[in-house]
Amino acid sequence: MAQTRPTQRRRFLGLGRSREEVMQRREKREKPEQPCIYFPQAPQPGEWRRSVGLVFTATPPEITEEVRVSVPAIDLNLQRGLTKNLYVVGRLQTQFIQNSLNLGLRYAMPLSEKWFVSAGYDINGWMGVLKIRDVFDAQAYGVSNYPNVSVGYRLTRTLQLMARTEAIFDFYYHSQVGSLSVDYHRPQLSGVAFAFALEQPFYKKQHVTLGIRAAYSRFNWQFWSLYETFDRPLFYPQLFFGFIL
């Protein structure tokens, strides 16, 4: 016992390691051990990351009343490292007749070997077109912004967890039915969202993301055609799943 104590103390303080060992540990901390999309760690400069999956959004009862459905959308993510800490993110969610595109920048940095953090700003544009005989002759588009902060925790070498908080700012909304159209230019804080995701190996070399997002907002682009008019945040729970390619 008496012999091991000094060694443990030196290791704790980061002393007693060779330069190579220190460099290896730093590289390990900065370079992802496994592919990730949501985990707040920047790709290497010039490196691409991509994922494909589905996101399911449950309809709020205030809007769809007794009809409760979980609406699926195809979810594509694309990211590219710009510098050691800075990367650009893109996300396309599509239901073909309505689509949402996010473009943003993230700055990520490790706090320790296990803890990571990032801050980002995403700009979101969405649009939808509905032309159904005797029911709809409508289209709409809009712009929202999502400033966000994420915290990541690497639980094991293969399992990493992420928690994210987003503010949702609505900037612009345009809607048209037949020949009539309306515009809302007023920027407003529409709500907030909290997401929690895990990323881990799935099969052979495949990795997956599985997560939930709870948004409390005055508007949700997926439900533009229901013309919700409540000036109070409604709850939109989402479940997302993706394969990291």
Among 135, 185, 186, 205, binds other proteins (CB under 8 A): 135
Binds other proteins by CB under 8 A, chosen from 107, 153, 172, 216:
216
Are 63 and 224 in contact by the 8 Å Cβ rule? The answer is no
How far, in Å, are 25, 66, 194, 226 from residue 175 at the CA level?
Answer: 54, 26, 28, 12
Token look-up 């993110």 returns 89
> Which of 52, 58, 86, 88: binder of other proteins (CB under 8 A)?
58
Contact flag: residue 138 with other proteins (CB under 8 A)? yes
Strands 160-177 and 206-217: unpaired
Give the side-chain half-sphere CA count within 13 A for 66.
Answer: 0
d(CA 243, CA 122): 22
Residue among 27 and 66 whose Cβ is closer to other proteins? 66
For the CB of residue 113, give the shortest distance to other proteins in the complex, in Å: 20
Q: Decide: is 201 part of the binding site for other proteins (CB under 8 A).
A: yes
Name the β-bridge partners of 68.
none
Two structure tokens written together for 111: 């706090």
Least Å distance between CB 9 and other proteins?
A: 34
For 140, residues 6+ apart whose C-beta sits below 8 A from its C-beta are 127, 128, 173, 174, 175, 176, 224, 225
- State which of residues 159, 187, 188, 189 lies at the interface with other proteins (CB under 8 A): 159
Q: Is 196 in the site for other proteins (CB under 8 A)?
A: yes
Q: Which of 88, 147, 225, 245 binds other proteins (CB under 8 A)?
A: 225
167/191 Cα distance (integer angstroms): 6
Which string of x and - marks every residue 82-111 that binds other proteins (by CB under 8 A)?
Answer: ------------------------------
Q: Is 22 in the site for other proteins (CB under 8 A)?
A: no
Question: Residue 23 or residue 212: which is nearer to other proteins going by CB?
Answer: 212
CB atoms closer than 10 angstroms to residue 200? 16
Which spans of this chain sit near other proteins (rule: CB under 8 A)?
Answer: 58, 61-62, 65-66, 130, 134-138, 159, 175, 177-180, 182, 184, 196, 198, 200-203, 208, 210-212, 214, 216, 225, 227, 229-233, 235, 237, 239
